Structure 1
């Protein structure tokens, strides 16, 4: 797969977005009562799938302007910094646990009483300086690796709770999400025009980094940890559009997804699953689960109509420049001049050709946290909240 970009700035923006964003002021259900399983706080590490405002807080002026303005946030009523028209999976999970939405760590004057979101859009699992031949490969100014986020996490807990004993007590009543992250490690490598077979060599290091972070969190006293896998990236409109010219009919599966890219993501997930199983064996006193973003998304894709989506639009971006069958052009991405959002984002799976719509994230959250794709199921939910 040749993913070289002829425009560094456009490629950089796309790479940031491809990771696989914050309602900084609005909360979900009240958190006066202990949530399911006694969870009273959520701490999240990750990338744009989970970022609720950190990237836009630290990005320099002029960068990532599109996610600061409508149509981003159109379903919510105003832009929130999230890479979507509205809420993310982390938001629906918080609501279902009876907790407020997570404020970003870099937000000013925000409450962190019931958790903190350390995720940053564009973040890598492996620290960029350790993985890429810099400065030959452009990485985002604002990208914060998992190592940086983990340091934020530790600094926050130390500053807020002081002693290791108090930190352990806090974590025993918390849920920690380590990911989704790792997608950008591969995206940046692809933007060096590396073939899939070569990018696969990064998988062991990426998985080791993710699981190493989860281990550190468990060693600090966490008793509930979720480690999500990667999406079937061969179904993402952005990837489909960029590979359309060089692909043959045999390169696609029955759902119209690129086989090679889905196989790549499956290899990452298979290795991550095995590593999570080792964590479960090493920490029998903790509840450690793998969140299957891959199969849950395919279930959503293959049954789009029954979930209320337009089956004819499952591989098309809601917001774009009207380009081609995928409505995606990396030179004119959502929010750029000449682009527009569809009339009803709730009928689309993809918001901007890279990230999902609020409706799709809601459906994914139900499938994972209330269904069979959290393995094992380590959560229970207050009856008064039910499913969002």
Structure 2
């Protein structure tokens, strides 16, 4: 497996994470098990469509569709899309987790919501690279300056609702469709922290944002469930202390700042705190919606498993 990293340290640049095939396949397996064997829900039944909200981990082309001419040119050129033979608008040289998930369920790749003249018979992708969970108008209550993005989870949820209302005639038809669909709410929230941390805020300051970010994700998930969704996946955050951008920008002189995998301990602890709060909130959702299968996707430990097992999976090349 060849893993390419394409990271910029400029806070006004979209945070894109390159993906390895092994990482994606492992997570798809985990997501499939969570979804199809979750509490409540409709275990073993087919999924007719996938609807996805999130950021660059899931965006299949919305950012480049809405961007003005000349913006985000990097994503529009190889090596992005290398395994497709052409750039696709994905922040990856190949398939994303959402692509593998669609394949695993026998569905076509999801078209981006902003694409024109495309089929949405099997779902739609509302994710936008660089998106935040919190809305720019509410972000951090003015404590932090916002980057360029206006593509918050709130906006994506509005797109989702508008799409469903324009595609189906009644609320009952929407509910029926969603009961045979899978909805991903995330991964989202990582950019809320990225923009703050790369804006020179320290970890203890940014940690205060976790409750609001988590609540925003949960509120959006509730709205999706209230519309009729019966199978929902809510992913957690990655171990950001292992990401090349953070390892470069926030390098520490003391070896004690790093764990055995070479990751920054404080940043991984921060991400783990976000995930712990999100997991508790997802557990609360399961109690409130006993007839739905609601899964928390553990990106944190899946990433670490692959990082620590990397020698058995292939070679790394930084590019």
Listed as ranges, the gaps of 5+ residues in structure 2 are: 1-7, 20-42
Q: Do the aligned residues in 2 keep the contact of 1:20 with 1:184 (CA within 8 Å)?
A: no
| 1:235 lines up with 2:242 in the alignment | yes
| Gap change, CA 1:191 and 1:267, over 3 Å in 2 | same
- Structure 2: how far apart are the matches of 1:174 and 1:152? 17
Q: What is the deviation of 1:96?
A: 0.5
Secondary structure of the residue aligned to 1:75 is helix
Secondary structure of the residue aligned to 1:128 is coil
**RCO higher in structure (CA 8 A, sep ≥6):** 2
Q: Do the aligned residues in 1 keep the contact of 2:236 with 2:299 (CA within 8 Å)?
A: yes
Secondary structure of the residue aligned to 2:241 is helix
- Structure 1: how far apart are the matches of 2:46 and 2:168? 19
* TM-score where L is the length of structure 2: 0.86
2:314 to 303, 309, 316: 309
Q: Do the aligned residues in 1 keep the contact of 2:47 with 2:181 (CA within 8 Å)?
A: yes
Q: What is the deviation of 1:145?
A: 0.3
- Structure 2: how far apart are the matches of 1:214 and 1:144? 17
1:277 to 276, 283, 287: 283
Q: 4+ runs of 1 displaced by more than 6 Å?
A: 133-136
Secondary structure of the residue aligned to 1:227 is strand
| Gap change, CA 1:213 and 1:243, over 3 Å in 2 | same
* TM-score where L is the length of structure 1: 0.71
| Gap change, CA 1:96 and 1:9, over 3 Å in 2 | closer
Secondary structure of the residue aligned to 1:176 is strand
- Structure 1: how far apart are the matches of 2:157 and 2:18? 19
CA RMSD between the two structures? 2.1
Q: Do the aligned residues in 2 keep the contact of 1:18 with 1:183 (CA within 8 Å)?
A: no
Identify which range, 234-243 or 113-122, moves more after superposition: 234-243
| 1:294 lines up with 2:294 in the alignment | no
Q: Residue 178 of structure 2 aligns with which residue? A: 171
| 1:187 lines up with 2:228 in the alignment | no
| Gap change, CA 1:45 and 1:208, over 3 Å in 2 | same
| Deviation by residue 1:280-331 (Cα, 9 ceiling, x = unmatched) | 011000000000000011111111123x222xx3xxx632xxxxxxxxxxxx
> How many pairs were matched up?
289
